Amino acid sequence: MPAPPVLLFLGAGKKLGTQVPTVFAEAGYKIAVVARTRKEEFESSGYYQVQADFNNPECIPEIFAKVREDVGIPTVVVYNAVQYTLDDPEDPFASLAPENVSRLHSAVTVNGTTPLIAIHHAIESFRSLPPDTPGKTFIFTGNILNHSQFKNRLCFGIGKTVAAYGVRYASEAYAKEGFKFYYADERSEEGLPVMRDIDGILAGREYLKIAEAPEQLTWLYTYTKDNGYKDFGEKDYLKTVDSNESRFIKGGR
């Protein structure tokens, strides 16, 4: 008998952090959300909440243990936490100077190390589910930085690239067990990053789609608002525009 569907959402901040769980809840999933602070809207929605700081990778085992005991074994795990400081666009490696290097450590930990540890615990969770349970999917909220460079996002891009490597590796290494792994990245129709315009409801629908797909789809799951999945290949899309445009210099996912 399959286990009930459970979404474990790591990094439940604004936008995706509230909208993706809503989509899964409407599809019948039990919801567990993890954030630095508890939120009243999650309480009123009946979500199980865990407080954690993803700058500390050692929080992950405890999160999975709590959710397993109080909600159920996660069938879908989404890692959505993000942390970075913009680098100096004229001197990005200044972020690695002794007085600034904590920027690199934090970006790599939250965007790279902690999600890889979450992948390990997701695998252990999936293995403990009944064989006929659907889902068994890990999704990382990514962006274009795994193969394109922003001039002021050196540290952030390093962290995202670490995660992308791990997700791709896992998608191959655990395919024989039927587990699925995705680096999900919303783009514009021309292949550019959507930045602050990332759509939480769209992400929820796409994440639910790939979570419930019977087999692994392309691990690098780039998608657009109008067409869903769209293969943009390995082209460096940021070289097609002026990288000094304010929309790229400002913050945003």
Q: Which residues are catalytic?
A: 160
Position 81: which residue type?
A
- Which of 176, 178, 249, 183 minimizes the C-alpha distance to 221? 183
Neighbours of 39 (CB within 10 A): 16
Quick check: helix, strand or coil at residue 67? helix
**Distance separating alpha carbons of residues 57 and 13, to the nearest angstrom:** 18
Structure tokens at 54: 């993803």
Query: How close are the terminal C-alpha atoms of the chain, in Å?
Result: 40
For tokens 């403990």, what's the residue? 128
Query: How many C-beta neighbours within 10 Å does residue 34 have?
Result: 26
Radius of gyration of the chain (CA): 18
